[in-house]
Structure 1
Amino acid sequence: MGSGMGAYGGAVRPVESAAGETMLLWGLGQPTAHRNNALVRQAAHSFELDACGRRLSLLQSPSSMSTPGVTGAVVWDSGVVLAKFLEHAVDSQQLLLRDARAVDLGSGCGLVGCVAALLGAHVVLTDLPDRLKLLRKNVSLNVDDPHVPGSARVTELVWGDDPHHELVREPLPDFVLGSDVIYNEEAVDDLLVTLNQLSGQHTTILLAGELRNDAVLECFLEAAMEDFLIACIEQDQWHPEFCSNRVALFILVKKPERASTD
């Protein structure tokens, strides 16, 4: 185990190979043997979670889950794991989010971005245009409050397209956050284009993913290792009450820029 990576001071396990990491997660963790959606209630019209000394209430739209490709209308386990990990890491002083600039990718119902704002970050929550209405509603319900130390706003972002200039102005974000953003091989290239656009040498990327498909994860890790150093944050570093063998948590930082050999 290594100690720390990017802005995170806790223990991490470097990912040496995409295939090896995938084998480890499926072989040791046996994700398919564990109950999925153990931390969420996707049939309910709202999802409640205690975080940062308050009760968050996020509206969900279970009925739109029947629309092909729509997954951001409800909260998933990986979002809960990442949100509570952020809170736990800040509480244990392994992470400092106050006044940090963060972009949340594929925000869905907005849980991760809202918690980051409650922890003091200035967060831009992003998703596809047709997902923004629910997202805006949840941000205003949970973060529009003068006592919140950070801030949150919502903007559209289609992975692989040029992001809004505000997202990529210097300095680039301190953090890029994402839960359940690695879900099919077609989206991997666009996701990596966006991760590259949003991250500089001082950016820390935290991605939590549901372990559904080993081929997709291996494909993502393989491609990401071209540009990023990657490590896994294991469950003993997570919030002790919010763990799941069906979720993996990765931290990525850009590889140092190689000096030109011209």
Structure 2
Amino acid sequence: MDGHAEEVDELVEVGSYTVPVSLVRDSSAEILILWAIQQPTLSKPNTLVCQASLQLNIDACGHRLCISQSPSSMSKPGVTGAVMWDSGVVLAKFLEHAVESSTLLLHSKKVVELGSGCGLVGCVAALLGAQVVLTDMSDRLRLLRKNVEANVPVHGARGSATVHELVWGEDLDPDLTNPPPDYVLASDVIYSEGAVTDLLATLRELCGMQTTILLSGELRNDAILEHFLDLAIKDFVVGRVDQEHWHPDYRSTRVMLLVLVRKPEQTSDHPIF
């Protein structure tokens, strides 16, 4: 454990995020660190959201965002994007905080959000000046479009937001990959081994060498998270963002925040940062 911890705690800058993050080299060691340090099971889930409510109200980027939810849809197997999760709020407010502290530049950048769900993260990215494509499966798009239309002004907004269908693991629309996005955003997307495999297949196809991935997740199932990390570190440089760099008012010991970039193919075993 000590040797692994020394490797995991190596601080490097990853992608376009200018704050050094803890490099993840070993998936099992990272799981031990996350569960030992943050002790997620000792904290209550959903402290930043109310999933029984039809609407989540949150201030961001000088706006009062009203994110509609559909609690009744949660009874359908496999549906998690009908309500907000803490990891989505954490990522959205992290983006705002990082832009305000000049550690992240989103203005005029091409951004693709995967598994957008209710759309809070993508809406905040658009309000921060990005050209955002929010994606999800077909049965999630109605609620997603409603929230984008309600929270991202067509006129007067610094950025823009459009909604597209995207199923992980399937061929991507060329508009998403040509040119590759500057950023890919995702929250609460690690929930089953099958989803992990399809998610990583999509990330490999979607991301160019200059793409920075920002991914937040709920610390629920250590085995599934370890499976994700084990596969991800084969193709991506993976770093964990310490909570001291998150928005000071939006932190949770039940959430992790990762930053990833593609490894150069010819030197995949010796990542360059």
- Shorter chain as denominator, the TM-score bin is over 0.9
Partner of 2:206: 198
Post-superposition, which runs of at least 4 consecutive aligned residues in structure 1 deviate over 3 A? Answer: none
Partner of 1:85: 94
- 1:120-139 → structure 2 map (5 Å cutoff): 120-139=129-148
CA RMSD of aligned residues (A): 1.2
Partner of 1:60: 69
> Deviations 1:201-225 (Å, cap 9, x if unpaired)?
1000000000000000000000011
Which range moved further: 9-18 or 114-123? 9-18
Distance in structure 2 (CA, Å) of the matches to 1:100 and 1:254: 18
Which range moved further: 132-141 or 183-192? 183-192
Partner of 1:230: 238
Q: SS in structure 2 opposite 1:239?
A: coil
Percent identity between matched residues is 59
Contact 1:11 1:237 in 2 (8 A): no
Asked if 1:114 corresponds to 2:131, the answer is: no
Q: SS in structure 2 opposite 1:13?
A: strand
Partner of 1:35: 44
2:250 to 242, 251, 255: 242
Contact 1:2 1:14 in 2 (8 A): yes
Asked if 1:163 corresponds to 2:172, the answer is: yes
AA aligned opposite 1:28 = I
Asked if 1:144 corresponds to 2:160, the answer is: no
Distance in structure 2 (CA, Å) of the matches to 1:167 and 1:144: 22
AA aligned opposite 2:246 = W
| TM-score (normalised: structure 1) | 0.97
2:59 to 50, 57, 60: 50
Contact 1:3 1:9 in 2 (8 A): no
How many equivalent pairs are there?
259
Partner of 2:187: 179
Distance in structure 2 (CA, Å) of the matches to 1:236 and 1:178: 20
Asked if 1:8 corresponds to 2:56, the answer is: no
Contact 2:25 2:233 in 1 (8 A): no
Partner of 2:29: 20
Superposed displacement of residue 3, structure 1: 4.5
Distance in structure 2 (CA, Å) of the matches to 1:163 and 1:157: 7
> Mind listing any 5+ residue stretches in structure 2 that lack a counterpart?
1-9, 268-273
Superposed displacement of residue 135, structure 1: 0.2
Partner of 1:221: 229
Contact 2:14 2:237 in 1 (8 A): no
AA aligned opposite 1:54 = H
AA aligned opposite 2:234 = E
Superposed displacement of residue 256, structure 1: 1.5
1:210 to 212, 215, 218: 218
Distance in structure 2 (CA, Å) of the matches to 1:8 and 1:129: 32
Superposed displacement of residue 252, structure 1: 0.4
Contact 1:128 1:157 in 2 (8 A): yes
> Deviations 1:238-262 (Å, cap 9, x if unpaired)?
0000000000000000001307xxx
Superposed displacement of residue 83, structure 1: 0.2
Distance in structure 1 (CA, Å) of the matches to 2:75 and 2:65: 25
Distance in structure 2 (CA, Å) of the matches to 1:147 and 1:77: 29
Distance in structure 1 (CA, Å) of the matches to 2:154 and 2:263: 38
| TM-score (normalised: structure 2) | 0.93
Distance in structure 2 (CA, Å) of the matches to 1:29 and 1:208: 15
Superposed displacement of residue 182, structure 1: 0.7
> Mind listing any 5+ residue stretches in structure 1 that lack a counterpart?
none
Distance in structure 1 (CA, Å) of the matches to 2:227 and 2:208: 23
